[in-house]
Structure 1
Amino acid sequence: MKNNLSTSEKWVKRGVDLIASLVGIGLLSPILILGFILASLSTNQNGIYRSKRIGQFGKEFYILKLRSMRRIEGVETSVTTTRDPRITGIGAFLRKYKIDELPQLFNVLLGQMSLVGPRPDVTGFADNLTDNNAKILLLKPGITGLATLAFKNEEELLARQNDPIAYNREVIWPEKIRLNKYYLENYSLTLDIKILFKTVFT
């Protein structure tokens, strides 16, 4: 059972991340630019949203997203559902097709994230991991991963719950921990390729 990636695995993974992020930014730049413009117009704010997250080794960093929500005074929550009134019409489209996540290719390019890995969480979750669960933080957070695939419709799932916050804490979060530990303990380049393939084609 593995607790961390070997040196060679880290170098290969970083090399793939670097090449793929550069190619992705180049190919997707028209979508990124259009998304930025639409996000700016629909929210009346900067179209790029920076959110503090917990990264590798528990270090904080700022994840980049296309802004999909407007400010509404008095509306704040630790989880987002499809019923969130802050989500704009354009924002709903960006979120549905995960276009809002594309700026994270720059996080990958900078070495803050990987293409595949545990999703970076806000403070109060990943930074509170203890004992055997904390080894997840040995990995760079990813744009996609096993937990991302398992909960690709997470916002819709949360919208169906009477208490979305409790459901996220008691059901979704523990399952994400289990899947992220499995990814670390069974890491291979083949597994990364399978995850990327499923992300794009499912």
Structure 2
Amino acid sequence: MQSWAIAPSNTGGRPSAQKRPKKDTAGADPLFATLLVHTAKQTLFNAARVREHDAVLQHVIILPGTHPVWASLQQCGKQFATQVKNQPSADIGSPHLHKWAALIATLGSLTLTEPQKVQFTEHAQTMDSPQKLAQSVFVCKLSKAWIKDTFKLTISLATDMEAIAQLVCTVLTANGGTRKFGIPPRSSQERDIAKILVDMGEFSNP
């Protein structure tokens, strides 16, 4: 075991959380109230599992709003919205594939080492069609981050594309991005549901 790891112990540790007394639910349909409680608990369980899976399957980079990748992907989204009005989406593919292509093109224009240039060029040459790209690029999206004027780039690729995924993260980190690791925090909806269940005496908030 590594020196930093906490060794398992059969004694001591954090005491068991105490549930609050349950609130009186007189007047409510008992079966319906029970169903709502179980549904809320299952929702929290599912949300926690999804966040764990995201931490394993996705790469997340936080970018400032002035980053060229942000501008490129924003413009790509607008162009896709215009193009899809005149052409069936089945022909042009999913918008995330076009954003991936825009991402690769933008990164290729940054200051890179020669091996990095070669790797990006070789990958770009394999992007024959959105249909082919869809088999290996599963997620490429840009969304607002928690901190003002920052954005979250999320990508998820097939295992045989892990090398290019790591290259994207390396180049972005070297050019103003911040890579995020670990399980994402709970959403505001998760926190609200947990608080309601705690107040009802049905849940021990960790």
TM-score exceeds 0.5: no
Q: Considering only CA atoms, is the larger Rg found in Structure 1 or Structure 2?
A: 2
The higher-RCO structure (CA 8 Å, 6+ apart) is: 2
In proportion to residue count, which structure has more helix?
A: 1
How high is the TM-score relative to the length of structure 2? 0.24
How high is the TM-score relative to the length of structure 1? 0.25
